[in-house]
Amino acid sequence: MGRTPCCDRAAVKRGPWSPEEDEALRSYVQRHGSGGNWISMPKKAGLKRCGKSCRLRWLNYLRPDIRHGGFTDDEDAVILSLYTQLGSKWSVIASQLEGRTDNDVKNYWNTKLKKRLLAAAAGATTGDVAVSVRSLPPPVLRLPAAAAPATTAAATYASSLFPSLAIPTVKTETYTIDDFLAPAAFRDDDNPFAAAAAAADGSTTSASAASSAASTWSATDNGAAAGGGDGSSFLLDFCAGSSGLGGAAADDHLQLPGGYYYPLDPSLSLV
DNA sequence: AAGAATGTCAACCGCGTAAGA
DNA sequence: CTCTTACGCGGTTGACATTCT
């Protein structure tokens, strides 16, 4: 029992759009709008296309205010910042960038920005920290001015970073750069930071508090993924890294001017 | 020069959900 | 309230372009 198709696939054309089809769609939408019904629109416009296909073509390509390519540094910064906070909410991210579509932003992230981050991470984890700041994407995190999260203050510190710091929730295999940055743990029901902050009593680390308090963030998942095997190394690695403030780079982060840093955990397996 | 590998991006797929009957 | 329909979204695919060997 599959999902009912939105149109008769045998009767509609698929694949790349021809200039004639583009023109037909453009002129129809400019004259009449979509009519509030993309499903019936193709027929009215004389197109043998699925309504969804028409909608996509208009929104992602034919709209007059669309810009393609040539992402600026400012746009990079917005994308990274919002991705770090929201995850893959491409439509939301695109809405903050004039003339950009969710598809464009998504493609740009997957093909360019993510790779730049990986390259930066690889350079730092191999000790090659001579990577220029200009070549990096905008910083992911900004530390509090007086960050001093050793152990006792770790939980408070971790909660102060929330929601900027991204911690994977349930994982059994290797992490990707997406896991590294995407805030999968933002939902209250599986957010280890919220649990850590609540459980912190000054004698435990945020990681152990989080691990014990967040059922979906088990020691097994955490330890196995972090490679440390102690079940609490992941968050500790992040927190410990901040104690190296002032240095150009630590094992687990790359320090940048202005209090920014990239969290780089060499024990993570970036794939 | 040619084939392989990799990158890019337009388009498709199918799910979640809002709206209306 | 339930069901149907259409929209919007995120993930994925595949064709074409580019780079590498």
CB-based contact A165:A147 (threshold 8 Å): no
Lowest mean pLDDT among A16-25, A126-135, A142-151, A257-266: A142-151
- CA distances from residue A39 to A44, A50, A152 in whole angstroms, order as listed: 10, 7, 59
**How high is the pLDDT of residue A181?**
41
CB-based contact A124:A131 (threshold 8 Å): yes
Interval A169-222: pLDDT, tens: 223 233 333 344 433 333 333 333 333 333 333 322 223 223 222 222 222 233
| CB of A231 lies under 7 Å from some atom of strand C | no
**How high is the pLDDT of residue A35?**
66
Interval A28-59: pLDDT, tens: 888 887 766 888 888 888 888 888 888 888 88
Question: Rounded distance, CA A192 to CA A169, Å?
Answer: 8
Question: Rounded distance, CA A11 to CA A48, Å?
Answer: 7
State, as a whole number of angstroms, the distance between the CA of A91 and the C1' of C11.
13
Interval A54-83: pLDDT, tens: 888 888 888 888 888 888 888 888 888 888
**How high is the pLDDT of residue A5?**
57
Q: Count the neighbouring beta carbons within 10 Å of the beta carbon of residue A213.
A: 18
CB-based contact A155:A196 (threshold 8 Å): yes
CA proximity to A130, closest of A254, A262, A264, A3: A254
| CB of A111 lies under 7 Å from some atom of strand C | no
CB-based contact A215:A256 (threshold 8 Å): no
- CA distances from residue A8 to A4, A35, A234 in whole angstroms, order as listed: 10, 21, 50
β-bridge mates for residue A263, sequence order: A253
Query: Cα A89 to the chain's mean position, in Å?
Result: 8
Does residue A155 have a pLDDT over 50?
A: no
| CB of A176 lies under 7 Å from some atom of strand C | no
Question: Could you tell me which residue, A119 or A2, shows the higher pLDDT?
Answer: A119
DSSP string covering A159-197, please? HHHTTTS----S-SS---HHHHHS-GGGSGGG-HHHHHH
Half-sphere exposure of A178 (CA within 13 A, CB side): 11
> How many helices and strands, by DSSP H and E, does chain A display?
13, 3
**How high is the pLDDT of residue A9?**
66
Q: Count the neighbouring beta carbons within 10 Å of the beta carbon of residue A143.
A: 22
Does residue A120 have a pLDDT over 50?
A: yes
Residues in chain A, overall count: 271
Give kind and range of the element (H or E) at residue A212: helix A206-213
55-74 of chain A touching strand B, CB 7 A cut-off: 56-57, 60-61, 68-69
CA dihedral of A227, A230, A212, A156, whole degrees rounded to 10:
-80
Which chain C nucleotides are covered by protein, judged by CB under 7 A? 5-12, 15-16
CB-based contact A206:A196 (threshold 8 Å): yes
Binned at pLDDT 50, 70 and 90, residue A156 comes out as very low
